Structure 1
Amino acid sequence: MLSSLTKFILGFLLAIAVLIGGGVAVALYFMNRTGIAPAKPIFSNDSPSVKAQAPKTTEPGGGKPTLKPGTQAQSSPSSTSTPTESPKATPSPKPLPSGAYRGRVSWAEGLSLRSQPNQEAERIGGVGFNQKIIVLEESEDKSWQKIRLEGSEQEGWVKAGNTEKVDKQ
């Protein structure tokens, strides 16, 4: 009789231990799942492919027009009568305002484009690493820069020190 009572008590305690252990394991699993940060969302204005939409006909500073497929470049002037295609005139880029200069983003993670020169301002876009920009002005305390994305009309403020000048004017 004592052995069957002992078996019952041990079986009861073992069942309670299995239930408690299973409950703790499930609780730990769900707590760890909620601790994982979700994947960073990707927006169309954050993608570096956005800057590749505008076709480029000349290299910056190069001044050499690109040839269309099927045309040949002449290595020396000659008096041949074969017609060659003249380079098309490209619309000149908008002249820079006084005090503005061309630059690029030097911060590896890219920058947030803000509507006002402060951290709490609305985020209106993003600028990728090495993306070409035009620095228009600086804030009075020199901690923010107003920029325009090159090849776009989008303007906004970025934290100063994360861009670098690319050409001397």
Structure 2
Amino acid sequence: MFTNLLKFILGVILAIAILTGSGVAVALYFMNRAFMPPPKPLFANDTPALKEEAPPATEVSSASTPKPTPTPTPTPTDELPPGAYQGRVTWPQGLSVRAEPNMDAERVAGVGANEEVIVLEESQDKNWQKIRTAGKQEGWVKIGNTERVE
């Protein structure tokens, strides 16, 4: 009878240990999943990370084809309004561009990290900057997330 009681107590202790261990394992799994950063968002104007391979070049005689003359393309700095300057996004996750200078405003675009923008003006409270993206989209971002490019 003593051995049966010992087996029962040992079984209860073993069951509690197994349930506790599996509960801790499940909790750690979900905690690790909850604290993983989300993947970086991709926008339509993003450049692909992998470059596509160019098709093999065909042999063409240079005497029969005319060479194109390069035309100078205007740089974005040529069309800057007064007081505006070139800037670069410094926030590593990129920025949300908003329609108005507040956090509740509609999100109209996004800019990636290290993307060049044109800083047009600052809000009166000096908390927001109005920018123009490479896609000519204008909107507001929090100040301190861009730096001036010389």
TM-score by length of 1: 0.63
- Deviation of the 1:23 alpha carbon: 0.9
CA contact (8 A) 1:104 1:131 kept: yes
CA contact (8 A) 2:40 2:93 kept: no
Match of 1:67 in 2: none
The answer on 1:126 being equivalent to 2:101 is no
The answer on 1:42 being equivalent to 2:25 is no
Match of 2:98 in 1: 114
- Deviation of the 1:46 alpha carbon: 9.1
Q: Partner amino acid for 1:156?
A: G
The one-character-per-residue Cα deviations of 1:5-58 (angstroms, maximum 9, x if unpaired) are 1100000011111111111111111111221224413322298527xxxxxxxx
Q: Partner amino acid for 2:139?
A: G
The answer on 1:86 being equivalent to 2:69 is yes
CA distance in 1, matches of 2:4, 2:67: 102
Pick closer, same or farther for the CA change 1:111–1:92 going to 2, 3 Å: closer
Give the RMSD, CA atoms, in angstroms: 3.0
CA distance in 2, matches of 1:89, 1:166: 22
The answer on 1:22 being equivalent to 2:6 is no
SS of 1:35's partner is helix
Pick closer, same or farther for the CA change 1:17–1:101 going to 2, 3 Å: same
SS of 1:126's partner is strand
Match of 1:8 in 2: 4
CA distance in 2, matches of 1:102, 1:47: 19
CA distance in 1, matches of 2:128, 2:118: 14
Q: Partner amino acid for 2:125?
A: D
TM-score by length of 2: 0.70
Percent identity between the two aligned chains: 42
Pick closer, same or farther for the CA change 1:123–1:106 going to 2, 3 Å: same
Q: In terms of Rg, which structure is larger? A: 1
Gaps of 5+ in 1: 51-69, 72-82
The answer on 1:140 being equivalent to 2:117 is no
SS of 1:29's partner is helix
Pick closer, same or farther for the CA change 1:14–1:124 going to 2, 3 Å: farther
Gaps of 5+ in 2: 49-60
SS of 1:45's partner is coil
- Deviation of the 1:91 alpha carbon: 6.2
